Amino acid sequence: MNSSGPGRGFNIANPNTGCPAGYTSRRRMSSISRSILDPPPERVDHEADSVNVLSDVGGISYGDYLRLDKVLDAQVLQSELNGRRVHDEHLFIITHQAYELWFKQLLYDIDAIRGYMENEHGVSEKKMFDIIKLLHRSIMIIKLLVDQVLILETMTPLDFMDFRDYLSAASGFQSLQFRLLENKLGLKSEHRVKYNQKNYSRVYQDLPDQLKKLELSEEEPSISTLVQKWLERTPGLDDEEFSFVKRYEEVIEKQLSDNMEKIEKEPNEAMKAHLLVSHQRRVDQFASLFDVKIHDSCVARGERRFSHKALQGALMICMYREEPRFHQPHQLLMALMDIDSLITKWRYNHVMLVQRMLGSSTFGTGGSSGYQYLRSTLSDRYKVFVDLFNMSTFLLPRDIIPRLTPDMKRILHTHAGFDKDDEEELQEDLAELAPVKE
């Protein structure tokens, strides 16, 4: 090999000749010594060329943009006004103000989601990315709120007692933004625990502007309502060519029939009686999925929230979540459960904080039963998307999930088409559906 000229190759016997990957040849010790002894090159101070945009060009400052004069002056300690400043009251105020700011952001994002979904022609798939993005942002915010309770727990019960009387009738129950958040997610008035046996809106009877906002939030379509309408339009739910409900019901009937045969063969009468009771319970559960009257009875008893068809649509999405068309819908349903779960965790942390600070028998500053009232909000009645949590009741093992028809499989694929495995499965389906030649 010719080792001279600009195109010479790398000589493995002589590592000083350079590297084809672009690294330079190894320096000799003498050159390294000289480079160490040489004075360093003069450094260029690029900061000297920078410009103070605010003073030199003009514009709004950081403090003015964030209105920090108002935000940072909004902490008024009642203990200090009464001549007995309590240090931890400042933490108490800051924490609750931070809650309210994050509630404002949550409402801002939820209103945007409602706007995307409030379309009589259906939710645009182009908006699904934005909807899921905002839901995931909401999840992160609520996670932050859950952890924020831990900061308040650094305050001892005696510390809280030092300024509690200064709160007068002020109570977290009066947080309008949290009530708006509950309503806009979809919590119904009939599912609430009555506050001192009175409707929760009575808290705002002397605040007409806030009461109007509260009533409006009850009348506007909630996230739950809009999601249900969206689920009712699930493709393949009850089409002529592919009826998921019908095919699913056929599988369930076979499963229940096979199970009954096994029970009848059970020699132990006590075990047989137990299995029969369990079997009948399963029959009743599945009957509520197929019979709209039974489903409506579950809704009337407060056991379900979704409409009959929306529940079936959610089940279909969960069963076929691996189909490309259902990827984002399934993410949306999971995100709604995460929000519901995190709000429940936030309520629980709040309950534990109240018990820690006030005990179990003390009344709250707003006149509620305190710990007892808050503990009652941890039940399923406060879960807006409780139907999604119970969806696992109706799931089937993968090997008996009703197979999609070729046309339905095409519908549930994106416009990009099939991958190799999907194409092979489609050809198998077509072969099975082809008429047998005599």
DSSP letters for 264-304: HT---HHHHHHHHHHHHHHHHHHHHHH-HHHHHHHHHTTS-
In this prediction, residue 413 has a pLDDT band, given cuts at 50, 70 and 90, of confident
Which has the closest alpha carbon to 118: 182, 63, 184?
A: 184
Average pLDDT, integer, range 67-87: 95
pLDDT at 158 > cutoff 80 = yes
DSSP letters for 8-63: ----TT-GGG--TTSPPPPPPHHHHHHHHHSPPPPPP-GGGG---HHHHT----HH
Q: What is the pLDDT of residue 437?
A: 57
* Least confident span in 134-143, 194-203, 375-384, 405-414: 194-203
State the amino acid at position 322 in one-letter form: E
In this prediction, residue 19 has a pLDDT band, given cuts at 50, 70 and 90, of low
Higher per-residue pLDDT: 292 or 3: 292
Residue 334: C-alpha distances to residues 8, 163, 419 (Å): 60, 42, 26
Residue 374: inside a domain, yes or no? no
Write out pLDDT tens, residues 143-154. Answer: 999 999 999 999
In this prediction, residue 426 has a pLDDT band, given cuts at 50, 70 and 90, of low
* Least confident span in 59-63, 96-100, 371-375: 371-375
Write out pLDDT tens, residues 358-412. Answer: 887 655 454 455 677 778 878 888 999 999 999 999 999 999 999 999 999 999 9
Residue 115: inside a domain, yes or no? no
Which has the closest alpha carbon to 326: 412, 421, 389?
A: 412
Please tell me the distance from the alpha carbon of residue 341 to that of residue 351, in angstroms, as a whole number: 15
Q: Two tokens at 67?
A: 């209105």
Which has the closest alpha carbon to 95: 175, 37, 198, 15?
A: 175
Residue 38: inside a domain, yes or no? no
- Structural domains of the chain, count: 1
Q: What is the pLDDT of residue 416?
A: 44
pLDDT at 54 > cutoff 60 = yes
State the amino acid at position 28 in one-letter form: R
Please tell me the distance from the alpha carbon of residue 354 to that of residue 362, in angstroms, as a whole number: 10
Please tell me the distance from the alpha carbon of residue 16 to that of residue 22, in angstroms, as a whole number: 13
Q: Could you tell me if 3 and 11 are in contact, meaning their C-beta atoms sit under 8 angstroms apart?
A: yes
Q: What is the pLDDT of residue 361?
A: 60
Average pLDDT, integer, range 166-171: 82
Cα Rg for the chain, rounded, in angstroms? 32
Q: Cα-flanking dihedrals φ and ψ of residue 153, to 5°?
A: -70, -10
State the amino acid at position 364 in one-letter form: G
Which has the closest alpha carbon to 201: 180, 186, 222?
A: 180
Residue 31: inside a domain, yes or no? no
In this prediction, residue 33 has a pLDDT band, given cuts at 50, 70 and 90, of low
Beta bridge partners of 195: 198
Residue 168: C-alpha distances to residues 152, 254, 289 (Å): 19, 64, 50
* Least confident span in 150-164, 187-201, 278-292: 187-201
Burial annotation 178-209 (CB, 10 A radius, 16+ → b, else e): bbbbbbbbbbeeebbbebeeeebbebbeeeee
pLDDT at 331 > cutoff 90 = yes
Q: Which sign, positive or negative, has the C-alpha torsion 323, 329, 335, 341?
A: negative
Q: Cα-flanking dihedrals φ and ψ of residue 198, to 5°?
A: -125, 155
DSSP letters for 329-352: HHHHHHHHHHHHHHHHHHHHHHHH
Residue-number span of the structural domain to which 400 is assigned: 244-323+393-430
Average pLDDT, integer, range 125-151: 94
pLDDT at 422 > cutoff 80 = no
Average pLDDT, integer, range 38-46: 67
Q: Could you tell me if 196 and 363 are in contact, meaning their C-beta atoms sit under 8 angstroms apart?
A: no
Residue 128: inside a domain, yes or no? no
Q: Two tokens at 181?
A: 């958040």
Q: What is the pLDDT of residue 116?
A: 94
Average pLDDT, integer, range 179-197: 85
Residue 43: inside a domain, yes or no? no
Q: What is the pLDDT of residue 121?
A: 72
Long-range contacts formed by 148-151: CB under 8 A, 24+ apart: 148/95, 148/98, 148/99, 149/346, 149/349, 149/350, 149/352, 149/353, 150/349, 151/91, 151/95
Average pLDDT, integer, range 81-101: 95
Average pLDDT, integer, range 37-46: 66
In this prediction, residue 36 has a pLDDT band, given cuts at 50, 70 and 90, of low
pLDDT at 25 > cutoff 90 = no
Residue 298: inside a domain, yes or no? yes
Residue 287: inside a domain, yes or no? yes
In this prediction, residue 356 has a pLDDT band, given cuts at 50, 70 and 90, of confident
